């Protein structure tokens, strides 16, 4: 197989991947909106039944994002593999290690926040990537959305993630879930409670860096210069 054939197959695969993920996250978003329309939850209230309705789709399409780390590692996309790994793994930790695994957490309001923040972000992002692969230029409204909506969606998503992790702490501390103490066969102890506390503190240095990176990218793509009128 020559380089052109490999390039064509890679491009076709990436188009399919991005279209499927865009449609999948749109399904999650529609389900979330439907729940809000029917239940009218207030800020801070419990969202009983939301995870039961959205959970299967959320788990499939968020877990599928780990393929993006592989895409970077094998070179079919040019994103930074370390940055991509952190962004994807942090979400997977929140989803699988907190929302799905810790009893009662999936009914807290933080779930609703991450569902809106993640699904809107991903519908825009995957639509942007698919368009950039299929067409010579991306529609400006899609490009603008890709590099603007993060201003509000990123903080909302982080707030939701932190609310979920904080909600899990007393439960994990009381049950000892995913923790093991000495003595044991491997002679090593692990506290899932303190691991989650560490994750919370890691948001302090990492969130500003990622947020600043997105602002920098926006300036590069859309321009950050002042107009003559200014």
- Residues annotated as part of the active site: 154, 161
CA quadruple 209, 210, 212, 214: dihedral, nearest 10:
160
For residue 80, count CB atoms less than 10 angstroms from its CB and return exposed for 0-12, middle for 13-18, buried for 19 or more. exposed
At 180 the three-state DSSP class reads strand
C-beta of residue 88 within 8 angstroms of C-beta of residue 71: no
Give the rounded distance of the alpha carbon of 65 from its chain centre: 8
At 190 the three-state DSSP class reads strand
Instruction: Report the distance separating Cα 150 and Cα 155, nearest Å.
Output: 8
């Amino acid at each position: 197989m020559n380089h052109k054939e490999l390039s064509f197959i890679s491009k076709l695969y990436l188009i399919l991947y991005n279209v499927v993920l865009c449609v999948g996250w749109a399904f999650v978003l529609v389900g979330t909106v439907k729940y809000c329309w029917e239940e009218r939850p207030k800020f801070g209230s419990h969202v009983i039944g939301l995870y039961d309705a959205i959970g299967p789709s959320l788990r499939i399409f968020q877990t599928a994002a780990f393929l993006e780390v592989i895409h970077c590692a094998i070179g079919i996309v040019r994103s930074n593999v370390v940055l991509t790994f952190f962004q994807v793994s942090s979400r997977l930790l929140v989803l699988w290690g907190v929302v799905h695994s810790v009893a009662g957490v999936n009914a807290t309001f933080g779930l609703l926040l991450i569902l809106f923040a993640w699904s809107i972000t991903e519908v825009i992002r995957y639509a942007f990537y698919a368009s950039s692969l299929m067409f010579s230029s991306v529609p400006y409204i899609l490009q603008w959305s890709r590099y603007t909506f993060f201003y509000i969606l990123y903080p909302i998503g982080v707030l939701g993630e932190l609310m979920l992790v904080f909600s899990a702490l007393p439960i994990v501390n009381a049950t000892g879930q995913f923790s093991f103490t000495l003595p044991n066969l491997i002679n090593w102890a692990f506290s899932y409670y303190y691991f989650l506390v560490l994750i919370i503190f890691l948001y302090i240095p990492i969130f500003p860096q990622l947020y600043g990176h997105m602002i920098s990218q926006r300036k590069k793509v859309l321009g950050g210069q002042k107009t003559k009128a200014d």
